[in-house]
Structure 1
Amino acid sequence: MLNTVFKDAIVNRDKMLLVLKGPKYEEILEKARKNWVEFTPTKENSIIAGIDSSFNNTKFQGIELWATTAVSIKSDGEILVDLHDSGLGSDTDLSRIASRMEIDACERTIDVVDLVLMDGSLHSQFMTRQFSLDALVVKMMKKKDNVIFIAKTSNTKKQFEDLGSLAGDIFYYNHVSNNPGFSKIFIEKKYGLEKTIASTFVRLGNSTPIIKLEFLGEQHDEVEIKEIMNKLYKSSVGGYPYALKLAHNNCKISDKELAKMVSLLGLSNEIGSREVLG
C-alpha cells in the first residue's frame, strides 16, 4: 500500500509542486527578491544566552505524573538559570508552567548578557497565553530591549498574502537566494500597539537555513539587524545560534528520563501504569 503511494507521489511530483507554488509563484519570488537585503555578517564579540523549556508526562489510573524544566545557558556552556518542577495531578496545564519558567529564566538573564535568545515565536506567546503572561512577556522585553525570539521554522503567511501565497513566507525567501542576508522588517499590530511584532528572516552564512527573528515594537531598523547578525554569527553553528542548541539539549525531558522518575518514586509497580515504564 505505502509503496504505491510513494510511487504515485514520485510520478506526480511536478504536479504537486506546481500546486504548492501557486499561479503567482514568480510574482511572489520577485517581491521576495526586492525584500531581501544581501549582507555578510562579521564576527563580533557578544555575551549571548539561549532560553528554552521542556515538559513531559505520563498517565496511569487517572493520575498524571508530570515534569517541566527551563534553562538559560550561555554560548560557552555556562548555565545561568536552571529551573524545574514536577508533580502528580490531573489535566495540568504544562505549557503554561513551562512558559512561566521561560519568563522567569529570562528575567534573571536580561541584566547579565548582551542578547537573550528565546526559542520559538512571539506570535505563539500572544496567541495562546493568558493575559497575565502576555503582560509579563511585554514587560520583560521592554526592560533592556535585548530579548529576541528565534524560530527555526515559521508558518506565517502574511508578507505575500496579497498575491495569494500558498506556502509560508520563509518558503519564498528560501527560493530567492542562498547568500547571507535578511528580509526587510515586517510589522504586525494584530495583537494591539503594546504587542506590536517586528520580524525579519535571516540567513547567517552561505547555504545555511533561514531563521526568523522577532522583536517587540516597531522601533527596530536595518542597522540594528546587521549588528545582531554580527553578534549571532560569532557563536552560530550551521547558521543557528549555539546557545539555543545548548538550551534545547539541556532542558529536554525524554521518555527515558521520565521512566527513571517513575521508578524512583516507586510508581512503576502501580497496577495500570504504562508497560513501557514498568
Structure 2
Amino acid sequence: MLNTVYKDAIINRDKMLSILKGPKFEQILQKARNNWVEFTPTKEEVVTAGIDSSFNNTKFQGIELWATTAVSIKSNGEILVDLHKSGLGSADDISSVASKMEIEACEKTIDEVDMVLMDGSLHSQLMTRQANLGSTIVRIMKKKDNVVFIAKTSNTKKQFEKLGSLAGDIFYYNHVTNNPGFSKIFVEKKYGSDKIISSTFVRLSDSTPIIKLEFLGEHHDESEIKSIMNKLYKTSVGGYPYALKLAHNNCKISDKELAKMVSLLGLSNEIGSREVLG
C-alpha cells in the first residue's frame, strides 16, 4: 500500500509542487529577494538566557496525571529558574499553565541577563491561544526591552498574501538565498496599539535554517536587528541559539519520565495503568 503511495507521489511530483508554488511564485520570490538584507554577523559579547516550557499528561482510570515544567538557563549551562507543577485531575488547561510558567520564568530572568530568548512565537502563543496572558507578557517585556521571541518554524502568511501566496513566508525566503542576513522588518498592529508585534526572518550563517524573531512594539530598525544577530551568533550552534537548545533539553517531559512518575506515585499497581508503562 505505502509503495503505491510513494510511486504515485513521484509520478505526480511536478504537479503537486506546481500547486504549492502557485501562479505568482516567481513574482513572490522576487519580492522576497528585495526584502532580504545580506548581513554576516560577528560575535558580540553578551549574557543570554533561553526560556522554554514543556507539558505532558496521561489518562488513568478516568482522571489524568499531568506535569509541566519551565526553565530559564544561560548559554553556559547555569540554570536561573526551574519551575515545575504536577497533579491528578483534568489537564484541559495544561498548555495555559505551561505558558504562565514561561512568563514567570521570564519575569525572574530579565534583570539577570542582557538578553532573554523565549522559545516560540509572541503572536501564536500569547496573542491567540493564550490571549488572556497578553497583558502580563506586555508588562514584563516593556520593563527592560530585552526579550526576544525566537521560532524555528513559522506558518504566517502575511508578507506575500497580496500576491496570493500559498506557503508560509519562511518558505519563500528559504528559496531565494542560503546566505546570512535578515528580512525587512514586518509590523503587525491588529492586536492594538499596546500589542504591536515587529518580526524578521533571520539566518545567522551560511546554509543554516532560517529562524523568526519577534519583538514587542514598532520602533525597531535594521541596526538593532544586526546587533541582535551579532549577539545570537556568539553562542549559536547550527544557526540556533544554544541557550534555547539547553532550555528545551532541560525542561522536556518525555513519556518515559511520566511513566516513572506513575511508578513513584504507586499508581502502577492500579488496574488499568499497564498501558502507561508500555
Deviations 1:152-207 (A, max 9, x none): 00000000000000000000000111100000000001111111100000000000
Aligned twin of 1:222: 222
Higher mean C-alpha deviation, range 212-221 or range 8-17 = 8-17
Residues in 2 aligned to 1:207 and 1:16: alpha-carbon distance in whole angstroms? 26
Q: Which letter maps to 1:211? A: I
SS in 1 for 2:73: strand
**Residue pairs, 1:17-28, within 5 angstroms:** 17-28=17-28
Structure 1 residue 123 corresponds to structure 2 residue 144: no
TM-score, structure 2 as length reference: 0.98
For residue 92 of structure 1, report the CA deviation from its aligned partner: 3.9
Q: Which letter maps to 1:97? A: V
Aligned twin of 2:82: 82
Residues in 2 aligned to 1:195 and 1:75: alpha-carbon distance in whole angstroms? 29
CA RMSD of aligned residues (A): 0.9
**Residue pairs, 1:261-272, within 5 angstroms:** 261-272=261-272
Aligned twin of 2:136: 136
Aligned twin of 1:73: 73
**Residue pairs, 1:1-278, within 5 angstroms:** 1-124=1-124, 125-131=126-132, 133-277=133-277
Residues in 2 aligned to 1:147 and 1:235: alpha-carbon distance in whole angstroms? 17
For residue 74 of structure 1, report the CA deviation from its aligned partner: 0.4
Q: Which letter maps to 1:17? A: L
Residues in 2 aligned to 1:90 and 1:250: alpha-carbon distance in whole angstroms? 25
Residues in 2 aligned to 1:3 and 1:100: alpha-carbon distance in whole angstroms? 46
Residues in 1 aligned to 2:173 and 2:198: alpha-carbon distance in whole angstroms? 17
Higher mean C-alpha deviation, range 9-18 or range 221-230 = 9-18
Contact 2:114–2:146 (CA under 8 A) maintained in structure 1: yes
Structure 2 unaligned regions, length at least 5: none
Percent of matched pairs sharing the same residue: 82
Q: Which letter maps to 2:179? A: N
Residues in 1 aligned to 2:205 and 2:155: alpha-carbon distance in whole angstroms? 22
SS in 2 for 1:49: strand
TM-score, structure 1 as length reference: 0.98
Residues in 2 aligned to 1:269 and 1:130: alpha-carbon distance in whole angstroms? 41
